[in-house]
Structure 1
Amino acid sequence: DSHYDYADVDSFLIDEEPDVENTSGIITEMNEWTKISGCFRAKGGEYKIIIGNFRKDSQTDTAQLPGAFGEETYKSGMSYFLFDDILVKEIPEAYILPADTVVCRDSFYVLSAYPENARSYTWNTSAATQSITTNKYGNFTVTIVTNEGCVQEASVTVHTKFCGPVCPPLYMPNAFSPNNDGLNDYFAPANAIDMREVDFSIYNRYGQRVYSGHSLKSSWDGRYGDKLCDAGTYFYYSRYTDCHGVDFTLKGDVALIR
């Protein structure tokens, strides 16, 4: 409202530190009221919101409205703000549906980002739509710019499993290198997710069992207890139940490389 009676306004200093800050830049007003909007992400637990300028006058290029506080002309470097109506709007958190999930291998499925009707969606697949259709698996991330200008991010992880009419056999790698470089650090069935149950044991060349696993997520890190095993050839024996409930055994050897 440009007809506000500025002469009735007193100036005072609020001794507060902002919990959150709008870093979009300095807003300069010369004639009319300006709609100030921005995105603020609360840390949680705040009981108030403080709006204003927390810079020194010498650091602020804001003009004073004529007539405010008895002034009749513009003066630069005066950081006065006059507030009328204030609307605080909560922006929903971003998320993707379905959440972390398992899908049939090579099948197509849809991932949808929320909230809906945002200004833009940018996926790590280079897609720019709210929903994407893919037959890939792995990590999917979307960056969302809301209509209020807020930037949000969400991600999900998609795994695959075999869903065909014929169950694949259990596959065991023939080598691994547990040196903590993030590549082949563990020995485990490569397609355990296709099975109902997997149980396997590892033996050294003396016939001593150095590891046993009893779940689909079991893996050997190349240790016997808390000691590193020597490089060399080890032997595995596995019992597993395939996707149709048929029991099998599998044995072979694996090279531990250091």
Structure 2
Amino acid sequence: MLTLLLGSTHGWAQVCTGSLGDPVFTFDFGSGNEMKFPTTGYSFRGGSCPDDGQYSISKTETGCHDDTWHKVLKDHTGNDGYMMVINADAVAGKEFFSKETTIEGTNLGALCENTTYEFSAYILNLIKAGQFGFIEPKITFIIQTTTGEIIKQSDPTDIPPTGNPDGWEKYGVYFTTPPGVTTVVVKMVNNAPGGAGNDFLLDDIAFRACGPVVKAGIAGDVSVTQTNLCAGNSKTYTIKAEQPAGYANAKYQWQQNLNNGQGWKDMAGEESLSLTLDFPAGKPVGTYQYRLGVAEGGNIQSLNCRVYSNTVTIDITAYPDPPQLLPLNVCEGDPFTLTAAGGATYKWTGPNLPETSENPLVIANAGAGMQGRYTVEVISAAGCSTFRYVDVTVNQKPVIQLSNANPAVCGGDGVTISAFATDAKTYSWFPVSGLSNPNIANPVASPDVSTQYTVTVTANNGCVSTGMVLVTVKDRPVASAGEDKKIFEGQSVTLEGKVSGSVLNYTWSPPDFLDDPHSLTPVATPPVNKTYTLTVTSDNDCGIAESSVFIRVYNKLVLPSTFTPNNDGVNDILNIEALQTYPESIITIYTRDGKQVFRSKGYSKPWDGKFNGSPLPAGTYYYVIDLKNDTPTRSGWVMLMR
């Protein structure tokens, strides 16, 4: 029988590959704030870094020998539990775990004779993989009688290093109790010495019955081990188990575990390979689990001597209670979304809508044919269904009529733009710049530049439409006659006219003394002060523009080249013709070496060739004349002769 139901892993570690019973005992070193201490030949050390020949009880292993040991953040099961940290004794063969299989609190044996059991533990080599020169743990599992006789002993087996700090592995041994033996002592011994290496973690030690594989399933199909029944329905189920091999006189006992919390209990009278279950309509919602216990002959009466089949589960599932769906109003052409909740899957149907499992249900474009009632089947993970409904109303969007849709105006002018829609509630124009009122149907638009206005119309049903009006702004003509000019009598000046905008033609007026009145830059030679006006006519019916320029014509100065201040009544003064017409002008006269000999404002008294009342010698003198009218200063020389 053993060759059929038991197997080997790691080459040496004999562990059960058949069905297992509930543990006769487990030892997990505690959890939470409570530690469990083993019976061991090693000495205890608090913390998590034992020395050779010591052990610790710890939840993590992160602070010892970081260069060689794994950082282990949890025990084997990861349930806030403790594990045993073992640093091998220098002397090989030291026992690090021992326990007797008596009923807890008594000296009575907990086992059945002639029954196969598995003794196992989860072990992790603390030395990181890829390092050399370290000793590997070499563990022996020993089963012996209470008087010390060995019943079974595994070969000493290396616990290889791993690169995974969560790489726990199950190791163990199986054996059959001899006749008359109901209590054994189980031990684990480290057969390698300590020193460099041989450091490991131990957790979840277990001792339980082991037997041939027992398979059960619904209606005899061992591949079907779970089913669902919706609350309020009734059904009869038959669970069948396959005949297990290897028993001389197999006996059976069905157990049930109701709602995952009451524990496994024998079902009275259910002692065959088949179990029939009636689930009436009023059976409470919950999880109902079943399994078949198997043992040899009278051993079936002891829970410690049975092995069990796989668990078969029947879930009575409540119908989903999804929230109600509120009616939905949408606008034609808009998308809308319908969302159900409370289920694992969904099935939607509706007007012109094939059945779909999409949820949320997204309709990209609402049409008139999509109005009506939509139905969703809300399905739980167990397949129980509840239906919900939602009514969708598709409203028509307002139809906008635009008057004067694309007007053109001259810059600075305004134009009325208008929109109309039946059942309109509000109008809103954008952008608002240049509008007299953006919230009425027919504002006046006076934009500075061509602008496209968008009107948004909201109907009383809440639906919205938009329309667009382009207001084109035509350029008005712009004229610039340039800056005012100043010249002396007899001079000419070029006018600096400029035009912009939509220009048809331009002209200067009056045309007097202009070489070309139809040029933007004519040459003007007025003999007296003159104002010229540049007139520009548009070519887009946006009127005319005018700009004027004033030409100031100053009297021409005439300076003699010589004068003879000798009191003969002829040419006795420096007579500068027309200088007296510039009352703000200043004339200064200098000698050849730069000495000032005369200065006058307005030249009301001409220079008589004297300096401080004394006649100056004949020679060349230099003058500078500043007319104080923004014209360039004039300079030159005059010859004084005696």
TM-score (norm 1): 0.37
Bigger Rg, which one: 2
TM-score normalised by structure 2 residue count: 0.17
Whose relative contact order is higher, 1 or 2, with alpha carbons under 8 Å and at least 6 apart? 1
Bigger strand fraction: 2
